[in-house]
Amino acid sequence: MHTQSCVEIKNEWNIVQARQLGRELSKELGFQTVDQARITTAISELARNIYLYANDGIITVEPFNNMGKLGLKVVSSDKGPGIKDIRKAMEDGYTTSGGLGAGLPGVKRLMDEFKIHSQEGSGTEIVAIKWLR
Ligand SMILES: Nc1ncnc2c1ncn2[C@@H]1O[C@H](COP(=O)(O)OP(=O)(O)OP(=O)(O)O)[C@@H](O)[C@H]1O
Ligand SMILES: [Mg+2]
């Protein structure tokens, strides 16, 4: 059952599905309720960004093992417009859509590892990991 699962994000219902997937896997891996909530919130923000800015993309959640250290890895990838200035996009309050600009910095705070790769015109990939404590 510990396999990778993914949800294609094309509509708002898919955002709910991605959340559910994160909830199930984090529970199964033994994360406490608070960390389950952190993970599902992070997934929600990443999926919402895909839906809003890239139209469609994929959220993948999978168990992750780094030399015996177990965690849950979330990957968000899309072939949307990409992010011109990643440093700015990571600032609290930076938004191009009249949002709160809290999504990406929030995901970084909620998760333990956070990496973002994005190129204007070719898409965005974000990898975030939460370690099991
Ligand atoms: N997948 C993506 N593709 C292209 N641009 C993105 C993507 N995700 C985020 N961005 C850009 O980064 C900015 C910051 O994203 P962030 O999620 O932090 O804030 P927001 O979506 O504007 O507002 P909030 O998430 O608080 O409602 C966005 O306004 C958008 O310009
Ligand atoms: Mg957002």
Q: pLDDT digits over 75-117, tens only?
A: 999 999 999 999 999 999 999 999 999 999 999 999 999 999 9
Measured in Å, residue 54 CA sits from the centre of ligand 1 at: 10
Residues 12-67 pLDDT 10s: 999 999 999 999 999 999 999 999 999 999 999 999 999 999 999 999 999 999 99
Ligand 1 within 6 A of 121 CB?
no
Q: Which of 58, 83, 88, 109 to mutate to test the pocket of ligand 1 (most atoms within 8 A of CB)?
A: 83
Write out the chain in H/E/C secondary structure: CCCCEEEEECCHHHHHHHHHHHHHHHHHHCCCHHHHHHHHHHHHHHHHHHHHHHCCEEEEEEEEEECCEEEEEEEEEECCCCCCCHHHHCCCCCCCCCCCCCHHHHHHHHCCEEEEEEECCCEEEEEEEEECC
